[in-house]
Structure 1
Amino acid sequence: MRPILMKGHERPLTFLKYNREGDLLFSCAKDHTPTVWFADNGERLGTYRGHNGAVWCCDVSRDSMRLITGSADQTVKLWNVQTGAQLYSFNFDSPARAVDFSVGDKLAVISTDPFMGLPSTIQVKCIANDPSEQTGESVLTIKGPQGRINRAVWGPLNKTIISAGEDATIRIWDSETGQLLKESNKETAHQKTVTSLTKSADGSHFLTGSLDKSAKLWDIRTLALIKTYVTERPVNACAMSPILDHVVIGGGQDASHVTTTDRRAGKFEAKFFHKILQEEIGGVKGHFGPINALAFNPDGRSFSSGGEDGYVRLHHFDPDYFNIKM
């Protein structure tokens, strides 16, 4: 499968997100401008201008009308997807790291970094139907765990919030009271920073990637560990196929060690694992540096990866891919 190379960012990529129909792909990078692309041919549709810092994360509403982005410039912005107009800006006292719309798009969860003596927080904001009625108040603020919270997402029926980050512990919070309901136990949990967290298509389980060179599959309600996928390098990003039992994991070492690695050494490939058998089934090479972001198209027929090299690579699967026998 020949990838489509999409060059629209000057700096390393941080996050990729498809809309629900899978026809649009949103990319975030350290160059301040989130970008939207056609997901089938990689054509660049437009950018969202307004941030003054690296953009860490984004999410798009179910109807593909609104985009929410979290940035190091201490703001989270709401955008009109179609026109690129900025609808609202939530201001914080520290960089915003993770953003996620709830089911129904009425709420958004946002995590902020520890900064200048402030602790990390997880905040829930109401999203108004009419942008002119939007306010900046938080419905809930959880002053959180030690270290950065790299990912915060909604659990089933918006009843819970799942967070993970620098302290390697995955936590489940009550989204109304902010009470801690569960946390991963030390034996089965990751040993180092959790870099990514992605939910399955049906929302029954989720996958986490960590710098301890593994990705783990968890039950979203009980937080029971289901599977572990082990690689030989730190994991920066992971994604799950919505139609097959496949997990894709991307990584590489820290950007500061990159110059000592030949790209042909295969350190920067996206590796495919069988979700149930936990065995590696293949890899896709191509990036000139660690892979920082991965996303599967909701139809399961293509996936995209974003790297430290500033490129987004869009891969459409060959027919053979759907007939891989283990």
Structure 2
Amino acid sequence: MPITNSRVIPLTCSGHTRPVVDLQFSSMDSEGNYLLISACKDGNPMLRDGKTGDWIGTFLGHKGAVWSARLNQKADRAVTGSADFSARIWDTFTGDELFKFDHQHIVRACDFSQDGSRVLTGGQEKKLRVFDLNQPESAPLEATGHEGAIKSVAWDDDRQTIFSAGDDKTIRVWDVRSMEQVQQLDHGASVTSMVQSADGHYLTSTAGAEAFFWDTRAGYALAKQHTLEHNASSISLHPNQTKFIAGSDTDLWVRIYDFTSGEELEVYKGHHGPIWTVSYSPDGELYATGSEDGTIRLWKTNPTKPYGLWQSCPE
């Protein structure tokens, strides 16, 4: 039976006024610290201390819902994609907008290349674009092929590929050098989320109640597929690859599953609306959830271990 522990109290991060739809932790710095960025339909992406949830700043400028927010490896730049038909690049230290890239429709997804020099976007246009931040005035590289809106994008520098996922029930793999499609990963339903694992060894995705784990080292072969109890809006694989968390757009509970067997291990309730986005911290000590209720909640992975603001252990 899964563990339901009512004594597990998450940290609640307030500030957003509408549903939180995307979360990402930065990499850890030399002192073990990291940041958390959030995208929200209120149009105000926010940056926080990853361990405590403390608010650092809000990036002001978008005129519509922000669907996607990502940090580069150094965490000194952020990219956001919005319903105002733009993707914007921000300085995370000053909050200043550095670049604005206009599109012809809603931008649903964005991501940095590993070196932070390029940005990938996708959205309602069903088109991928790659912008060069060293030459921001130059025309972006483009690729088409999706038959539905693109909801998620990701970048794999190690294999010189980029990924796009969306409403046409597919993930498409592209060679970033030629912008040609080289592979297609079929899902059977609209792909609701897609991210890479912390070490890049897996591409994780969700469609309906299915959780998929594609092995990037084996030609994107399907390594695991688990059928969950509820529709999966988002999943995140723990850095040690023993378990994963899942949020659902039809359920209020946070669920932890065994990676190997798919067995449900833990269940927690804290949100008052469906959970749209989940993510493990880079050290795996906590995870974040973003909800329709407009809040972000931080949950400690090991309830009995002091960490961050949870300095005391439960009795």
CA offset at residue 244 of structure 1?
4.4
CA offset at residue 144 of structure 1?
2.6
Paired with 1:136 and 1:269, the residues of 2 have a C-alpha distance of 46
Which of 127, 132, 136 is equivalent to 1:121? Answer: 127
Paired with 1:78 and 1:135, the residues of 2 have a C-alpha distance of 14
Paired with 1:312 and 1:215, the residues of 2 have a C-alpha distance of 22
**Which residue of the partner structure matches residue 308 of structure 1?**
292
Letter of the structure 2 residue corresponding to residue 247 of structure 1: F
**Which residue of the partner structure matches residue 238 of structure 2?**
241
Letter of the structure 2 residue corresponding to residue 148 of structure 1: A
Normalised to the residue count of structure 2, the TM-score between the two structures is 0.89
Superposed counterparts of 1:248-263, under 5 Å: 248-253=245-250
Paired with 1:153 and 1:39, the residues of 2 have a C-alpha distance of 21
SS at match of 2:170: coil
Corresponding position: 1:216 with 2:212: yes
SS at match of 1:217: strand
**Which residue of the partner structure matches residue 135 of structure 1?**
137
Corresponding position: 1:297 with 2:299: no
| Contact kept in structure 2, 1:243 and 1:299, CA below 8 Å | no
Paired with 2:36 and 2:255, the residues of 1 have a C-alpha distance of 21
Paired with 1:181 and 1:317, the residues of 2 have a C-alpha distance of 38
**Which residue of the partner structure matches residue 258 of structure 1?**
none
Which of 301, 309, 314 is equivalent to 1:317? Answer: 301
**Which residue of the partner structure matches residue 17 of structure 1?**
24
SS at match of 2:206: strand
- What does the per-residue CA deviation read over 1:47-76, in whole Å, with 9 as the maximum and x for residues that have no partner? 000000110111111111111101110000
Paired with 1:278 and 1:49, the residues of 2 have a C-alpha distance of 41
Corresponding position: 1:205 with 2:202: yes
Paired with 1:180 and 1:41, the residues of 2 have a C-alpha distance of 41
SS at match of 1:170: strand
| Contact kept in structure 2, 1:122 and 1:144, CA below 8 Å | no
Which of 72, 77, 80 is equivalent to 1:69? Answer: 80
Residues 113, 158 of structure 1: alpha-carbon distance in 2 compared, 3 angstrom cutoff = farther
Which of 77, 99, 104 is equivalent to 2:115? Answer: 104
Paired with 2:281 and 2:266, the residues of 1 have a C-alpha distance of 19
CA offset at residue 235 of structure 1?
1.1
CA offset at residue 10 of structure 1?
0.5
**Which residue of the partner structure matches residue 281 of structure 1?**
265
| Contact kept in structure 2, 1:156 and 1:203, CA below 8 Å | no
Residues 269, 136 of structure 1: alpha-carbon distance in 2 compared, 3 angstrom cutoff = farther
Over the aligned positions, Cα root-mean-square deviation in angstroms equals: 1.7
Paired with 1:76 and 1:281, the residues of 2 have a C-alpha distance of 38
Which of 222, 226, 234 is equivalent to 1:225? Answer: 222
Paired with 1:99 and 1:136, the residues of 2 have a C-alpha distance of 18
**Which residue of the partner structure matches residue 163 of structure 1?**
164
SS at match of 1:235: coil
Gaps of 5+ in 2: 1-7, 306-315
Normalised to the residue count of structure 1, the TM-score between the two structures is 0.86
Letter of the structure 1 residue corresponding to residue 52 of structure 2: N
Paired with 1:158 and 1:51, the residues of 2 have a C-alpha distance of 33
CA offset at residue 104 of structure 1?
0.8
CA offset at residue 317 of structure 1?
2.5
Paired with 1:46 and 1:5, the residues of 2 have a C-alpha distance of 17
| Contact kept in structure 1, 2:113 and 2:157, CA below 8 Å | no
Superposed counterparts of 1:74-93, under 5 Å: 74-93=85-104
Paired with 1:148 and 1:220, the residues of 2 have a C-alpha distance of 24
**Which residue of the partner structure matches residue 312 of structure 2?**
none
Paired with 1:274 and 1:112, the residues of 2 have a C-alpha distance of 32
- What does the per-residue CA deviation read over 1:246-302, in whole Å, with 9 as the maximum and x for residues that have no partner? 11111132xxxxxxxxxxxxx321211111122111122111111011111101100
**Which residue of the partner structure matches residue 5 of structure 1?**
12
**Which residue of the partner structure matches residue 192 of structure 1?**
189
**Which residue of the partner structure matches residue 256 of structure 1?**
none
SS at match of 1:278: coil
SS at match of 1:281: strand
Letter of the structure 1 residue corresponding to residue 16 of structure 2: H
CA offset at residue 156 of structure 1?
4.4
Paired with 2:214 and 2:159, the residues of 1 have a C-alpha distance of 18
Gaps of 5+ in 1: 115-119, 254-266, 322-326
Please state which structure has a larger fraction of its residues in helix: 1
| Contact kept in structure 2, 1:183 and 1:223, CA below 8 Å | no
Paired with 1:37 and 1:76, the residues of 2 have a C-alpha distance of 20
CA offset at residue 234 of structure 1?
1.6
